[in-house]
């Protein structure tokens, strides 16, 4: 078994990952993070707009996933207090924008699978 502290391990935000692919999936993996990033790749969205685009995600899950993406520096959150109701917008950070080609490739692959194996 390989030692976790060897040169091939990757440490990010206090977590140790066995390889770079594992680190990437740790940040954007799961059922909803890539979907969130897919919707944010074209620009800033309010929380309510994301909810409408993702009707099957629960409010709690969406909030948690957005918070994790924000903690990892992938998503920026802007809160506006000018007038009620409170306005919160989400956008890709500079680091998050570097994921756009990856997110587009993932989406393209999904389209490919559907076109090759329609039901």
pLDDT tens digit sequence for 67-82: 999 999 999 999 988 8
CA distance 58 to 73: 23
pTM: 0.85
CATH number of 31-116: 1.10.10.10
The helix (run of H) or strand (run of E) holding residue 103 is: helix 100-116
Q: What band does 8 get if pLDDT is binned at 50, 70 and 90?
A: confident
d(CA 38, CA 22): 20
CA distance 18 to 78: 34
Give the residue extent of every domain in the chain.
1-30, 31-116
Measured between alpha carbons, how far is residue 117 from residues 35, 62, 102, 110, 113 in Å? Answer: 22, 30, 23, 11, 6
With bands split at pLDDT 50, 70 and 90, how would you rate the model's confidence at 7?
low
Give the tens place of pLDDT for each residue, 94-115. 999 999 999 999 999 999 999 9
Q: Is the model's pLDDT at 61 over the cut of 80?
A: yes
- pLDDT bin (cut points 50, 70, 90) of residue 31 is very high
Closest CA to 104 of 11, 42, 31, 57: 42
83-95: average pLDDT: 90
């Amino acid at each position: 078994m390989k030692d976790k502290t060897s040169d091939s391990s990757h440490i990010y935000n206090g977590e140790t990952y066995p390889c770079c692919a594992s680190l990437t999936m740790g940040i954007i993996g799961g059922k909803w993070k890539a979907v969130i990033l897919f919707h944010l790749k074209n620009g800033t969205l309010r929380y309510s707009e994301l909810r409408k685009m993702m009707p099957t995600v629960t409010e709690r899950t969406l909030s948690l996933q957005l918070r994790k993406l924000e903690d990892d520096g992938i998503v920026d959150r802007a809160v506006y207090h000018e007038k009620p109701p409170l306005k919160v917008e989400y956008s890709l950070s500079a680091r998050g924008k570097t994921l756009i080609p990856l997110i587009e490739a993932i989406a393209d692959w999904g389209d490919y699978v559907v076109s090759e194996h329609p039901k």
